[in-house]
Chains A and B, each alone.
Chain A
Amino acid sequence: MTINGVTLTRQVSTRMLLSDFIRHGLRLTGTHVGCEHGVCGACTIMIDGRAARSCLTFAVQADGAEIRTIESEEKEDGTLSALQQAFQECHGLQCGYCTPGMIMNIRSRFDSGEELDLSDDGIRELISGNLCRCTGYANIVKAVRRAAELTGRA
């Protein structure tokens, strides 16, 4: 598989969840695990350009896939991406546990080329599917809108 631009080959147990493989096999611990049944979205990564639950994917299924995790989100010079900046500016995170999954989900939609619905309802729809227990979502909605502004999408 290719992960964050690095191509690698590993042998894994067939039942190894992709979330565990990324976290413990590759030590990319930014991807979090919140429920292991696909509801909370904390483990969301991008597989072949689309957001997906890494807890509902076996590592073996990712053979040949191109994967992106939160560790790829920073800019090359080590500064925060617009999306990350917007989250900080808008206080879109508290404990930060759901944040990587939230960001990867938003990232996939930003990169998909689809038109973004930046109304309140549209953004809430976009981030629905990722549970956050700290923020009450309002500041995440703001952050998505702010990121769209910063990237010229709004």
Chain B
Amino acid sequence: MKPPLFDYLVARSSDEAIRLLSDNPGAMILAGGQSLIPAMNFRLASPSALIDISRIGDLKSIDIVDGNVRVGAAVKHRDLEQSDAAFAVNPLMRTALHYVAHVPIRNRGTTVGSLCHADAAAEMPMILLLSGGWVTASGPNGQRQIPAADFFEFHMTTTREADEMIVSATFPALPSGAGYAFAEFARRKGDYAVAAVGAILERDLDGRISAARLAACGIASRPVRLFEVEASLVGTHLSDTEVEAAGELAKEAVTAPDDANATTAYRQHLLASLTRRVIREASEKVRKG
């Protein structure tokens, strides 16, 4: 399993990377390579050129911008996982990153790379969606922000244009006092999720749920928000019956067909269970008002 031939181009700046991308049809961005290189080794991907952005200094930083976490395109999963600053703003990232493959992969794989790879079962796209985050795409005509909801189109497909590079992803801060939780089931530790769910809950002064965000991955052709579950929770006190019902509602979000790891019926059951689990866990952390 050896990769096919390609040209290797080292970009010294984002602008250079974008220019190289335009000048080399069929080129791909190489950041950590932990999804791309296996695909190349299997000869499932054969880019004409790889544009290595891992040496671009300003893509390697994790910044708190307007209170949100901005993750540069060359930031390794492991750096984000270990960043206390990022954790303080949005703890869901560290929680979920713990489930992303294994440490040696996280040591080289980048979070933005994982977003661009857009595996429908991957954790970080779902966390971006759950957090209401966005990516910043840079192209010959300037920059644009693409909300997570518009970015992930299909399994391994995004709305990034061919001449654009994603230079960063921004994970918004959790609302003050919000409770959060993440739960995943995979066949083996470190595998892609059979299903994973994340939740962010807020309460009003009466203790009722005032806002709820839930998202899941592994259950459809892309990460999805569980809008109906969210709606069902707002205004409730999260009684056992309401949590139970929320789990049942979640089942409808499963559109993935039967596969080797799960039948649709089992995935629905699993998603319902995980949804109930994250709601309970998030509600324990949430502060009133």
Choose the segment among B32-40, B127-135, B241-249, B267-275 that binds chain A (4+ C-beta atoms closer than 8 Å): B32-40
Q: Cβ of B41 and Cβ of A44 under 8 Å apart?
A: no
Given contacts A56-B108, A129-B104, A129-B190, contact A38 B34 (CB under 8 A): yes
Choose the segment among A1-9, A57-65, A70-78, A84-92 that binds chain B (4+ C-beta atoms closer than 8 Å): A57-65
Partner of B3, one of A15, A53, A126: A15
Name B42's closest neighbour in chain A (CB-CB). Answer: A37
Q: Cβ of B34 and Cβ of A56 under 8 Å apart?
A: yes
Q: Cβ of A50 and Cβ of B78 under 8 Å apart?
A: yes
| Chain A residues, Cβ within 8 Å of B34 | 38, 53, 56
0 or 1 for each of B178-212: is its CB under 8 Å from A? (1 = yes)? 00000000000110000000000000000000000
Please report the C-alpha to C-alpha distance between residue A61 and residue B101 in the assembled complex, in whole angstroms. 21
| Chain B residues, Cβ within 8 Å of A41 | 102, 104
Pair count A-B, CB < 8 A: 82
Name B32's closest neighbour in chain A (CB-CB). Answer: A56
Chain A min CB distance to B47 (Å):
11
Chain A min CB distance to B63 (Å):
22
Instruction: Say yes or no for B227: interface residue by CB 8 A criterion.
Output: no
Q: Cβ of A61 and Cβ of B103 under 8 Å apart?
A: no
Choose the segment among B5-13, B168-176, B255-263, B279-287 that binds chain A (4+ C-beta atoms closer than 8 Å): B5-13
Q: Cβ of A51 and Cβ of B2 under 8 Å apart?
A: no
Please report the C-alpha to C-alpha distance between residue A53 and residue B213 in the assembled complex, in whole angstroms. 36
Please report the C-alpha to C-alpha distance between residue A51 and residue B105 in the assembled complex, in whole angstroms. 8
Q: Cβ of B38 and Cβ of A56 under 8 Å apart?
A: yes
Please report the C-alpha to C-alpha distance between residue A53 and residue B108 in the assembled complex, in whole angstroms. 9
0 or 1 for each of B48-79: is its CB under 8 Å from A? (1 = yes)? 00101010000000000000000000000010
Please report the C-alpha to C-alpha distance between residue A17 and residue B40 in the assembled complex, in whole angstroms. 11
Q: Cβ of B102 and Cβ of A128 under 8 Å apart?
A: yes
Instruction: Say yes or no for B26: interface residue by CB 8 A criterion.
Output: no
Q: Cβ of B1 and Cβ of A37 under 8 Å apart?
A: yes
Instruction: Say yes or no for A55: interface residue by CB 8 A criterion.
Output: yes
Q: Cβ of B8 and Cβ of A37 under 8 Å apart?
A: no
The size class of the interface chain B forms with chain A is 20 to 34
Q: Cβ of A51 and Cβ of B103 under 8 Å apart?
A: yes
Q: Cβ of A105 and Cβ of B104 under 8 Å apart?
A: yes
Chain A min CB distance to B103 (Å):
6
Instruction: Say yes or no for A52: interface residue by CB 8 A criterion.
Output: yes
Q: Cβ of A129 and Cβ of B2 under 8 Å apart?
A: no
Q: Cβ of A50 and Cβ of B107 under 8 Å apart?
A: yes
Given contacts A17-B3, A50-B78, A57-B33, contact A129 B38 (CB under 8 A): no
Chain A min CB distance to B6 (Å):
6
7 smallest CB-CB distances across A and B, nearest first, come from: A129-B102, A14-B8, A37-B38, A51-B104, A50-B107, A36-B1, A56-B37
Query: Can you report 10 residue pairs joining A to B where beta carbons are below 8 Å apart?
Result: A37-B1, A37-B38, A37-B41, A41-B104, A56-B108, A57-B33, A61-B52, A61-B54, A129-B105, A129-B190
